[in-house]
Structure 1
Amino acid sequence: MTRFIKKRKQDIGISPDELIFRGDKKINQVLLRIIDFDANNLNEKSIETVNEINQYKNESTVTWLNIDGLHNLEIIKEISSSFNLDRLVMSEVMNTEARPKITDYDNCTLISLKMLQYDNESESIIVENLSLILTKSVLITFQEKKGDVFEPIRERIRKNKKRIRNGGTDYLTFSLLDIVIDNYLYVISLLGEKIETLEENLLQNPKHEVINEINSYKHELNYLRKNIKPAKEMIFTLAKMESEYIDDSNHVHFKELQDNISQASESSDSYREILSDQLNIYHTTISSKLNDIMKFLTVFSVIFIPLTFIAGIYGTNFDNVPELHYKYSYFIMWGLFIFIVLGMLLYFRNKKWL
């Protein structure tokens, strides 16, 4: 399946607020996890039903509800009903192929972007859609499967780090976005190491297989850029947006994300240019080697042309050939051969053709 454009024929013409799962099912059972905390208390647990969320909605604590799996329509409907969320919000959440964006609604702010991870076995980038619904006291995150890059955030909460434990859902949102973007930089750095190693090998011993590696890395970088570019637009919009769910004191943190996402975008562009340069270097190196081979063959051919000419005349089958019966004729011919070869080599050297 194409990694750049995914549009199913059956989705054409469907209402934008239709609750349909658009994507690939990556987990069998939907998992719901809650972390509820404030400066002094922490409650972390897995829950079985959406109804268990209700006790946290009106608390003064910060509640982080994480949902792994988006294919269970009943759970999605229950969450929509429990938090009074617009169907359009939940429709966006269930569309894993949507472009990263941010939308402010009456009772929440919806943020969607991609989480990137690098699979060393397949040497490819794995993309997972992440949606965040930000409200005053509850942050809901939706992922396609279990396993993410957020464990350091959970550890900070468990270890009672003051900044995150005293912050609200907006600061928690910043922390999650920050680690997602940091992971962009990490994935790019992994690709960058491979690309730089490839450049060293290319200069030392260029092989035909290097073209396949360059094309493979270019494909991964293009896929990376396809997800980072719209995420950059979203982050810049978020940093400038005035929302009742983001405290003014936290705007400075969201602006910090601009530098990181810009660095990720610029780094991906730089490595893409490096790969193009490497491809040019490969073709230039191969052309140079071919020119050297052609130069040698040309010089070799030019040297033997007069020798062949002399041998042809000397070997004509006529009785009356001058010096035909002269006993030193053979040695004179070889002396002439050697003189011509050396003379031509010196001439080519003076012309800097050798």
Structure 2
Amino acid sequence: MRIAAFPKGYLTEMIVDRTLSVFDWIERAGSLGVDGLELHSGFFWSGGSEDEVSRIGDALDAASFEMPMLCASPDLTHPDSDQRAREFDVEVEMIRVASTLGGPGTSCRLVSGQAHPGVSIDQGLEWVHDAIERLIPIARELDVVLAIENHYKASTWQYPEFAQRKEVFLRLLDGIAERAHFGVQFDPSNAIVAGEDSADFLEAVIDRVVTMQASDRFLASGTTLDDLRQADGTIGYSPALMHGVIGRGLNDYDRIFATLVGAGYDGWISIEDGVNGMDEMRQSAEFLRDARERWFGGSTAVRVRSRELALLAE
């Protein structure tokens, strides 16, 4: 298992306000002790031009970071066909950027899109399946892995994720046969936000997981998950569901790691945080380094025990 970091806590400064550049972030991340940095399509202020991508690649190399994952958020369920086409084109461009910066096997995230009013589940899935099937040959040609995330809501979106519910997400996966260049980016905290048990969600998709994001959530004093569930069964971005250091919150990481190792997963896990500052990100990185030693260290005994725990969890 290798560890990356993603600056969720700085997305407004980096994407909306543009007061913190990707070069600033690369320098700042040097204190985390991670192997790579997950980037976002919004970090490319020049739109991913050849010169910009080259300069970012040079900065990553100089800081001894890999770029294993690129985060993009195409709205493939938009009711306007012209807008869907534009969203598709942006994803294609991000696949190209991911290939350039990360090389063979790099993952490029995609999501289904927003839950636009008036778009039925069947119609949305038809659009998403069509887009993914057209993206797969491009990803295959560039040796990039498309990683669809169990997402909740992009910061710039008006509506939550179309496929936030597990049953819809699983229907989406079942409609795509490709395994080599398409899989799942698992986010345990997004499962919680969508009203699911994160370890249960992982077990439902473990055979398709190609990358993982890691964070944790904490309930404000005096609240319960049932209190926070909205009428549709989700929790949403409630102010009573707070960010914090990985491994100390609602996610059962022992069960999550047991499931991952039991399935043979040994890929990238990216810290998706920084909401409360760099100190918590450093603590989260330390937690994942300890987890790597405990769960992914290569010991036969550890791997056998992990498989036993995964079976017990079923």
TM-score, reference length from structure 2: 0.27
The answer to which structure, 1 or 2, has the higher relative contact order (CA under 8 A, 6+ apart) is: 2
Larger Rg: 1
Q: TM-score by structure 1 length?
A: 0.24
